[in-house]
A and B are shown apart, each in its own frame.
Chain A
Amino acid sequence: MSDEGKPAVEMVDIQIDGKWHKVPKGTRMIEACRQAGVEVPHYCYHPKLTSPGNCRMCLVEMGMPARPRPGEDPPQPDEDGHLPISWMPRPVIACANTVAPNMGIRTESDLTHACRQGVMELLLINHPLDCPICDQAGECSLQEFSVEHGNGGSRFREQKVKKPKNVDIGPRIRLDDERCIMCSRCIRFTDEIADDPVLGFTDRGSHTTLTVHPGQQLANNYSLNTVDICPVGALTSNDFRFQMRVWFLKETESLCTSCGRGCNVTIGSREDKVFRMTPRENNDVNSAWMCDQGRLNFHYLASDLRLTDPLIRVDGKHEAATWAEAIRVSSEALGRCQPNEIALIASGRMTNEELFMARRLASVMKTEFVDIVPRNGEADDYLVAADKNPNTTGAKLILGIDEPGKALEEIRKGIAQGRIKALVVLQENLIDDAGFTAEELGKLDFVLHTYPLANPTADAADVVLPGAAFSEKRGSMINVTGRLQRLNRATDGPGQTLETWEIVRDLIQALGGGNGIYLVEDVFKQLAAEVSEFEGLSLSKIGSLGIPLVETGETVPLLAREQERIAKGIIVG
């Protein structure tokens, strides 16, 4: 993004813990500290939400230049132009106050330490000490700040307040009110971001209780974001709770592939099993959020239906084979076909690298019949895109498809007329998802199919190959706004699963087209050399937040509203 044309932001000098820094005028004190590399502990503050300033954890000391008394000489600046700071006797909250010229902030002083200790003591009075069985343990702000700012023991000898536990507040979320520290992040999220204000505090006072209105539910498609922003274990995900201690999870930066938005995610996995996906902040794609539907769409990775071995049909029955055998059988069958007797159907769920190998394969097989299966659904006014394929943009660019699905009709006609004799189906279930029939596929001399799961198309195929799913591959995709982003491998696929680019590479090699590709990076290198949009790029240059690659004219409704709120100063962003 270019900053040209924007008015220059006025910078102010502020002193943080004795050192002077320059920050843009209007910056919140807490953000100024963050920019200076100083952490101010906080619970209720979230840069994407309004700041009610209710947790008081971010109290810091603040000072300004003293105003001279009448008749007194004004204070003299030092050689750097800074005036001496006169400190206020009381602390201020850093989350809701903005910096001013020559302001001083002390985040480490006897007063701030006493404030934090006091807040911690009060928060822990009624908080159950059930960390060993709490799902948030290991990623709990209350736990972390207890280590840094808490007391060794408790002075509290009375009864803790009892509140509702294990409350079913929505189809995907459970609430433990005793753990709630009343930061109100979840309430603000449902009010301000999800436009579904069903949460609130009742019985304010010593019995303050987070709740949904009787008969209502926190059921919107963004509800699980409240679990992410809950600083403690009050809100937990039904799907993830008690499944795995978070400190055992390996975190891999990747993408959600459930629609064309390409929300940035962190995949939490252990020993080749994915346990959860959480949104990863990217202010050009998904802000800090993702939809519940995409978030929970990973359980099929561990399905019993996963294909684990290459299968070859012998006398009408699929038998497990080695990769070498499966590739040999496939290349022999495909090699017998004349140009344009083979059709190749790839998938908008494949990475750019896989699509590029599919393009190579099409040229080696000398076929013009190439398409992907379009997947159109409904968009919402937040993040969900109408295109349910995560990489339609990449497929159009690399395979040269203008209108996904258009050639499918041509291919079906060709099959019916007997002109097309063989079909290579990469990562698509034609029977369930593209309206093909088993009879149709039965007419063909040869069907090659790669897919992660057993499915009706596999039943009709001559060779079935286990193709990796999204968490099992490294590569890149281009989202609906034209942003090039990277998937990273979090888990290994089951059994002998291979990534589709590897399968296609081996097939091309067997068909006589040697290619010198060993790594996915090699594929990208060749892609960058052949497709002009990728020129000069490499997989590592994409970085963890992606880069804008092509203009599609699509915008993200949720981001547009976020920008508005930032411009009005309602949120930091």
Chain B
Amino acid sequence: MEVPADLEKEIDERITHYPVSKRSAVLPVLHALQHHFGYLSNEAVEWTAAKLELQPIKVLEVVTFYPGFRQSAPGKYHIRVCRTLSCAMAGSAELMESLCESAKIDRSSVSHHHPIAVSEDGQFSIEFAECLASCGFGPVCMVNDDFHEKVEDAGALLGKYRD
């Protein structure tokens, strides 16, 4: 893992926002790394720990707590399907199924500790998310940073992104 000089500069700047304890900068540093690399490898965890003068386990505790941090590489397009009550009633399970079918994603190895599944071609990855705050228009999902409501046709949705 090679952290580019400009990224490191940005991270160093973010750390200055927490003059009392560097440990407090752990979230912004991790966000910056995940934004750049797409996920947080063990190397990224150790790099962060060294940067903030912490033991790596103290960073890993944070990474594994927040579902927003990924420990494995996502696809080019990462899909988050809401599974909270309104969306669940509106058919999020069916949406997940049709998205997986359309993107050829096998979710059989997904577990609590490994929530993300990636398609064979690496184009798409998918996971369930908790409420995405559009409860009147379920089922909803996000593809990278794009928000989609009342998703009915999984194939059409993915078609917008397919290269």
| Interface of A toward B, CB cutoff 8 Å | 197-205, 207, 211-216
Any chain A CB within 8 A of the CB of B60?
yes
Q: Which of chain B's residues 50-76 have a Cβ closer than 8 Å to chain A?
A: 55-58, 60-61, 64-65
When distances are taken between beta carbons in the complex, the residues of chain B under 8 Å from A207 are 112-113
When distances are taken between beta carbons in the complex, the residues of chain B under 8 Å from A213 are 45, 55-57, 60
Q: How many A-B residue pairs have CB under 8 A?
A: 38
When distances are taken between beta carbons in the complex, the residues of chain B under 8 Å from A214 are 42, 60
When distances are taken between beta carbons in the complex, the residues of chain A under 8 Å from B64 are 202-204
A207 to B45, CA, bound (A): 20
The answer to whether A200 touches B61, judged by C-beta atoms less than 8 angstroms apart, is yes
The answer to whether B60 touches A202, judged by C-beta atoms less than 8 angstroms apart, is yes
The answer to whether B58 touches A197, judged by C-beta atoms less than 8 angstroms apart, is yes
The answer to whether B55 touches A203, judged by C-beta atoms less than 8 angstroms apart, is no
The answer to whether A197 touches B113, judged by C-beta atoms less than 8 angstroms apart, is no
A204 to B112, CA, bound (A): 12
The answer to whether A200 touches B57, judged by C-beta atoms less than 8 angstroms apart, is yes
For residue B85, give the distance in angstroms from its CB to the closest CB of chain A: 19
When distances are taken between beta carbons in the complex, the residues of chain A under 8 Å from B112 are 203, 207
When distances are taken between beta carbons in the complex, the residues of chain A under 8 Å from B57 are 197-200, 211-213, 216
Which residue of A201, A204, A205, A216 contacts B56 across the interface (Cβ within 8 Å)?
A216
When distances are taken between beta carbons in the complex, the residues of chain A under 8 Å from B55 are 197-198, 200, 213
When distances are taken between beta carbons in the complex, the residues of chain B under 8 Å from A201 are 61
Q: Which residue of B lies closest to A212 (CB)?
A: B57
When distances are taken between beta carbons in the complex, the residues of chain B under 8 Å from A204 are 61, 64-65
The answer to whether A203 touches B113, judged by C-beta atoms less than 8 angstroms apart, is yes
For residue A194, give the distance in angstroms from its CB to the closest CB of chain B: 12
Q: Which of chain B's residues 76-121 have a Cβ closer than 8 Å to chain A?
A: 112-113
A200-B57, A203-B64, A205-B65 provided; 7 other pairs, C-beta below 8 A?
Answer: A199-B57, A202-B61, A204-B65, A211-B57, A212-B57, A213-B56, A213-B60
When distances are taken between beta carbons in the complex, the residues of chain B under 8 Å from A202 are 60-61, 64-65
When distances are taken between beta carbons in the complex, the residues of chain B under 8 Å from A205 are 65
For residue B43, give the distance in angstroms from its CB to the closest CB of chain A: 11
A177 to B32, CA, bound (A): 32
A214 to B57, CA, bound (A): 8
Main secondary structure of the interface of B (DSSP, over half): helix
When distances are taken between beta carbons in the complex, the residues of chain A under 8 Å from B45 are 213
When distances are taken between beta carbons in the complex, the residues of chain B under 8 Å from A215 are 42
A466 to B111, CA, bound (A): 62
B19-43 vs A, CB cutoff 8 Å, 1 = contact: the mask equals 0000000000000000000000010
When distances are taken between beta carbons in the complex, the residues of chain A under 8 Å from B113 are 203, 207
Q: Which residue of B lies closest to A206 (CB)?
A: B112
For residue B114, give the distance in angstroms from its CB to the closest CB of chain A: 11
For residue A377, give the distance in angstroms from its CB to the closest CB of chain B: 29
When distances are taken between beta carbons in the complex, the residues of chain B under 8 Å from A216 are 56-57
A211 to B56, CA, bound (A): 12
Q: Which residue of A lies closest to B42 (CB)?
A: A214
The answer to whether A200 touches B58, judged by C-beta atoms less than 8 angstroms apart, is yes
When distances are taken between beta carbons in the complex, the residues of chain A under 8 Å from B60 are 200, 202, 213-214
A205 to B64, CA, bound (A): 10
Most buried by B among A200, A205, A216: A200
Most buried by B among A198, A203, A212, A213: A213
A204 to B65, CA, bound (A): 5
Q: Which residue of A lies closest to B112 (CB)?
A: A207
When distances are taken between beta carbons in the complex, the residues of chain B under 8 Å from A197 are 55, 57-58
A199 to B113, CA, bound (A): 19
Return 14 A-B CB contacts under 8 Å, by A number.
A197-B57, A197-B58, A198-B55, A198-B57, A199-B57, A200-B60, A200-B61, A203-B64, A203-B65, A211-B57, A213-B56, A213-B60, A216-B56, A216-B57
Q: Which residue of A lies closest to B64 (CB)?
A: A202
A481 to B61, CA, bound (A): 41
A255 to B87, CA, bound (A): 66
A203 to B45, CA, bound (A): 15
A202 to B42, CA, bound (A): 14
A212 to B56, CA, bound (A): 9
What are the 8 closest A-B residue pairs judged by CB atoms, nearest first? A200-B57, A202-B64, A213-B57, A213-B56, A197-B55, A200-B61, A204-B65, A203-B64
A132 to B119, CA, bound (A): 46
When distances are taken between beta carbons in the complex, the residues of chain A under 8 Å from B56 are 213, 216
For residue A197, give the distance in angstroms from its CB to the closest CB of chain B: 4
For residue A40, give the distance in angstroms from its CB to the closest CB of chain B: 29
A204 to B60, CA, bound (A): 11
A206 to B45, CA, bound (A): 23
For residue A218, give the distance in angstroms from its CB to the closest CB of chain B: 10
When distances are taken between beta carbons in the complex, the residues of chain B under 8 Å from A203 are 64-65, 112-113
Q: Which residue of B lies closest to A201 (CB)?
A: B61
Most buried by A among B64, B65, B113: B64
Q: Which residue of A lies closest to B54 (CB)?
A: A197
For residue B72, give the distance in angstroms from its CB to the closest CB of chain A: 14
A213 to B45, CA, bound (A): 10
Q: Which residue of A lies closest to B65 (CB)?
A: A204
For residue A209, give the distance in angstroms from its CB to the closest CB of chain B: 8
For residue A17, give the distance in angstroms from its CB to the closest CB of chain B: 39
Most buried by B among A202, A204, A207: A202
Q: Which residue of B lies closest to A187 (CB)?
A: B57
A212 to B58, CA, bound (A): 10
A197 to B60, CA, bound (A): 13
A277 to B45, CA, bound (A): 38
A202 to B40, CA, bound (A): 15
A213 to B57, CA, bound (A): 5
A65 to B56, CA, bound (A): 48
A111 to B42, CA, bound (A): 46
A200 to B56, CA, bound (A): 10
When distances are taken between beta carbons in the complex, the residues of chain A under 8 Å from B65 are 202-205
Q: Which residue of B lies closest to A215 (CB)?
A: B42
For residue B80, give the distance in angstroms from its CB to the closest CB of chain A: 18
A203 to B60, CA, bound (A): 9
Q: Which residue of A lies closest to B66 (CB)?
A: A204
For residue A413, give the distance in angstroms from its CB to the closest CB of chain B: 55
A198 to B65, CA, bound (A): 17
A197 to B57, CA, bound (A): 8
A214 to B61, CA, bound (A): 12
Q: Which residue of B lies closest to A211 (CB)?
A: B57
A501 to B51, CA, bound (A): 60
When distances are taken between beta carbons in the complex, the residues of chain B under 8 Å from A212 are 57
A560 to B133, CA, bound (A): 54
